[in-house]
Structure 1
């Protein structure tokens, strides 16, 4: 199965989680479960955008007599008539009768006498924020599925909201398996490797608001694997690392079947990451998802980026859960691609991108040195320095 088909098939299996209403400060990183409409207009009345003096619009030549002050939070309660001015600060309400704000640096004041010393504003309302300038009452501000960041949280509060509807936080269990894995990286025998994948995948998942925990390493034993799966029965999504290939000790598939899961599809035409497995298991009224990732660390992270993160975003209610690509110029040539779609670890310097020389699926050093993945189509022709290529950003799960 090709990547696009596999992602589409997987996302079709995702069932939305229950909606809850959460204090806005607790929604950062989550996604709106319903459209957000303004409960008030912003600003609620005409306001000054600058420090200066408010006057009548037909009285921009002066002189004027200063009759009071309108400060932010402390409005002037009288009315401005011709020949009168009110000292006004940024963010203060425009007094009744005020139609223009003249900057303080364009005026000369002596006592309560005010004269024009520079230029009057043109048009007269140039320094006024009109009522509803930012948004009117009832206006659609954010669509359902929008991720809530600092600006979106600030907008929601300004629009009169204290709580926002969001899907509950997904529960994720990561299981890494393999007899060769050592749980202690400080005491690792010659025939072992430190169990890094589980911690790496949990760290990647926690780039989103997810309740993620790890179980492992689990030995290559069907009963032990079934027990680990059963221990994760409360998870919305189980992600395994290792055991999804076709070797004699790759036992994930029979363990899933023994546990009662259904294999949805297996093996993807990508490099790295071919032996990816997707399964489901009905748990009461809900469907539990299992993503079986390869055991090689680079393959594991790349497939988690392409499959685990989109599922987590979809569970959180994202309108567009897939990572986005950008186009960047190559710094160095690339050889022709192979029969599978390939994701090359690469370094982007802000202007051009350069594929790293070490692309072995077990090489964590080049993965850690990468900040993008170059997306090379199957059978891609050779590319020259200066050619455009598409890349996925590795920071922030590719959503930045």
Structure 2
């Protein structure tokens, strides 16, 4: 294959996202909707509150009767939550009421019980109450037919409670995209096994599966393919029903990188295969029989960083959600040297300080094989190509890695 210029990160991400299609719509119960992406607006099926309700324990009154206090009112009823007072509240009357109960007709204010004294069938009101005081008016939260949540929202626990309050037992969401993946390499063995001479424990599959789940996808782990074209083809064939295929390793140029050699006869069409970034230069993207295919580097840190930058947004796009990277500003905690010609993603700790910008402190060692540093990193400091040296205290753009 002819040499290809290094592609800028933003252009590579844009080219990937432009090729993707949203997954089909399915209906799920609320118990299975957490983390899913809404495919349609969630429309309220009821008004909440359905009537004017008391926000406090106390007495329902007419504000005009308690404008001047103290005043004595006759108690004509008792209304716990879930019940109601059938009569009309007239001048000089009050109804004992509890939080969540509907206001009687004629009442327009609540006097809290701490501002009253009870004397048999009479309540002495000691504090005035204006109209609307401690009243949750009908429709305060939402009304029947209101669009409660927009399509494209990834559902959090509070959203599930909101949907339930809107009287929705199910929601229309995008199907979780199935992301099939496999690693390549004779040197790799699964975790929990005893590596032989010159072998290493594979960390990529489990880490990638976790990232796919976090992004809202469904991981399909196809294991480790030995460095043989037949084995690589067999693994790719097992991804036929997936929404995307991801390979780990074999994306760079070299006599032992067999992914392209193995998959070209199966219809692999490559868009690009080198990115102007560090870590993660040997990243490949294309399609295999019209299925999106992403080739991640085999290096564990490079694979993870590339998955954060390219695979996670892709999964979010396939669900119809927001695929933008959530970067923020931070103050640099340690001097950084000038950057080279590639966009650099520097692993750093991220310390949050109340009322100030967080502090991003780069780790002294940035070797792309060191997963211990990646696990400790709170963010990636994004350094543009050719960025000048920056002293501690300077402002940097960071991509947080943890919620």
Normalised TM-score (structure 1): 0.93
Cα separation, 1, equivalents of 2:78 and 2:320:
49
Kept in 2, the 8 Å contact 1:77–1:95? The answer is: yes
Q: Residues 91-112 of structure 1: CA distance to partner in whole angstroms, max 9, x if unpaired?
A: 1111111100011111111212
Unaligned runs of 5+ in 2: 1-6, 354-358
1:307 equivalent in structure 2 = 310
Q: Describe the superposition over 1:23-59 as per-residue Cα deviations: whole angstroms up to 9, x where unpaired.
A: 1221110111012222222111111111111101211
Of the candidates 8, 23, 27, which is equivalent to residue 2 of structure 1? 8
- Shift in Å, 1:242: 0.4
Aligned to 2:45: 39
Look up the SS of the partner of 1:201 in the other structure.
helix
Distance 2:207 2:253 in 1: 24
* Cα deviation digits, residues 125-150 of structure 1 (max 9, x gap): 12111111112222222111011111
**Aligned counterpart for 1:49 among listed residues 55, 73, 78:** 55
1:214 corresponds to: 221
**Aligned residue in 1 for 2:199:** 192
Q: Which residue of 1 aligns with 2:4?
A: none
How many Å apart are 1:10 and its aligned residue? 0.7
C-alpha contact (below 8 Å) 1:185/1:195 kept by paired residues: no
Kindly indicate whether the alpha-carbon contact (under 8 Å) linking 2:191 and 2:203 is maintained by their aligned counterparts in 1: no
Output aligned runs, 1:100-111, within 5 Å: 100-111=109-120
The range that moved more, 85-94 or 206-215, is 206-215
Partners of 2:128 and 2:288 in 1: how far apart? 72
Query: Do the aligned partners of 1:166 and 1:317 also contact (CA within 8 Å) in 2?
Result: no
| Cα contact 1:306–1:322 (8 A) shared by 2 | no
**How many equivalent pairs are there?**
389
For 1:101 and 1:49, how far apart are their aligned partners in 2? 8
Q: Secondary structure at the match of 1:59?
A: helix
Q: Shift of the alpha carbon at 1:272?
A: 0.6
In structure 2, distance between residues paired with 1:331 and 1:240: 36
Unaligned runs of 5+ in 1: none
**Structure 1 moving runs of 4+ over 3 Å:** none
Q: How does the TM-score come out when normalised to structure 2?
A: 0.93
How much does 1:189 deviate? 2.9
The 5-angstrom pairing of residues 1-400 of structure 1 reads 1-60=7-66, 61=69, 62-117=71-126, 119-121=127-129, 123-282=130-289, 287-318=290-321, 320-351=322-353, 352-395=359-402, 400=403
Deviation at 1:322, TM superposition (A): 2.8
Contact 2:333 2:360 in 1 (8 A): yes
Q: Deviations over 1:140-182 (max 9, x none)?
A: 2211101111111111121221111111122121200112212
Q: Distance in 1 between matches of 2:285 and 2:81?
A: 58
Contact 1:230–1:259 (CA<8 Å) still a contact in 2? Answer: no
2:13 and 2:133 map into 1 onto residues whose CA distance is 51
Q: 1:185, CA displacement in angstroms?
A: 4.7
CA distance in 1, matches of 2:274, 2:85: 71
- Verify the 8 A CA contact 1:229 1:259 in the aligned structure 2: no
Q: For structure 1, which segment, 321-330 or 287-296, has the greater mean C-alpha deviation from structure 2 after superposition?
A: 321-330
Cα displacement (A) at 1:382? 1.9
C-alpha displacement of 1:323: 2.6
Q: 1:186 to 1:230 in 2, by over 3 A?
A: closer
Distance (whole Å) between structure 2 residues aligned to residue 137 and residue 383 of structure 1: 55
Is the CA contact 1:178–1:218 (under 8 Å) kept in the aligned structure 2? yes
Q: Secondary structure at the match of 1:207?
A: helix
